[in-house]
């Protein structure tokens, strides 16, 4: 069963618009929530991550919003650019012990010029 | 990421053949992982290793085996390949005490 559910599967946004990708998890033991970005022909790379002691983390145009009570988190890309076109994966894990990442199913983002 | 390399990058094989995918890293990380990526299914963990003497099964280990030959090398074997093992395979590494994983460029495997 999918430990982390991600939506939408694909997203098309105009340049300058806001891209929003949502994820939900069930395991309350998870306490680390990263987002990975993958360009065609490349491996995923860490984009931004959040821990549950904060409700929001911002790095440049990328923001994670975290709702612990709802067990949901989302990625917002402000002023989306064509260079942001990629596949985005959310993930969750525990910070200690067997801290394996459980990935969502991915969102393919296309930003139209 | 040039610090994590995978060979081969592409492989076409036939049902029943034994296949080995290799991963090497120069990051000095203790932990290494093998994932497969399928459209609509995301990344799923096959095996992981926290050091040379520690090997663990992931979510989908059936039909696969691994070998950790050294801290820097972690190989994935398909003993008898089948068509539903056609996928993109990624190796990743992480340092002890951290959560960030660094991925290799992937191996595209096709089993006919």
The predicted structure's pLDDT at residue B2: 66
Phi, psi of B16 (to 5 degrees): 95, -15
Q: Among residues B32, B61, B37, which one has the least CA distance to residue A103? A: B37
Our CA-based measurement puts residue A30 at a distance from the nearest CA of chain B, in whole angstroms, of 12
B9 to chain A: closest CA residue: A41
What pLDDT band is residue A100 in, cutting at 50, 70 and 90?
A: confident
pLDDT at B1 over 60: no
Q: Are strands A86-92 and A102-103 parallel, antiparallel or unpaired?
A: antiparallel
B35-73 residue pLDDT tens: 999 988 999 999 999 999 999 999 999 999 999 999 999
Q: In DSSP terms, which residues pair with A88 in a beta bridge?
A: A37, A107
Nearest by CB to residue B45, choosing from A44, A100, A104, is A100
């Amino acid at each position: 069963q999918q430990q982390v559910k991600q939506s939408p599967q694909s997203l098309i946004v105009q340049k300058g618009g806001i891209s929003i990708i949502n994820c939900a998890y069930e395991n309350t033991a998870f306490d680390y929530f990263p987002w990975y970005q993958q360009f065609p022909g490349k491996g995923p790379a860490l984009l931004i991550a959040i821990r549950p002691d904060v409700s929001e983390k911002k790095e440049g145009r990328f923001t994670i919003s975290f709702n612990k009570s709802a067990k949901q988190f989302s990625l917002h890309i402000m002023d989306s650019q064509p260079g942001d076109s990629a596949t985005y994966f959310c993930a969750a894990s525990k910070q200690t012990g067997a801290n394996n990442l459980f990935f969502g199913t991915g969102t393919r983002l296309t930003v139209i010029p | 990421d040039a610090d994590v390399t995978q060979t081969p990058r592409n492989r076409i094989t036939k049902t029943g053949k034994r296949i080995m995918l290799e991963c090497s890293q120069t990051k000095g990380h203790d932990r290494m992982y093998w994932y497969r990526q399928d459209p609509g299914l995301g990344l799923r963990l096959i095996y992981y290793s926290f050091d040379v003497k520690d090997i663990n099964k992931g979510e989908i280990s059936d039909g696969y085996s691994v070998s950790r030959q050294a801290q820097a090398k972690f190989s994935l074997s398909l003993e008898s390949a089948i068509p539903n093992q056609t996928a993109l395979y990624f190796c990743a590494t992480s340092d002890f005490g951290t959560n960030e994983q660094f991925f290799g460029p992937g191996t595209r495997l096709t089993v006919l």
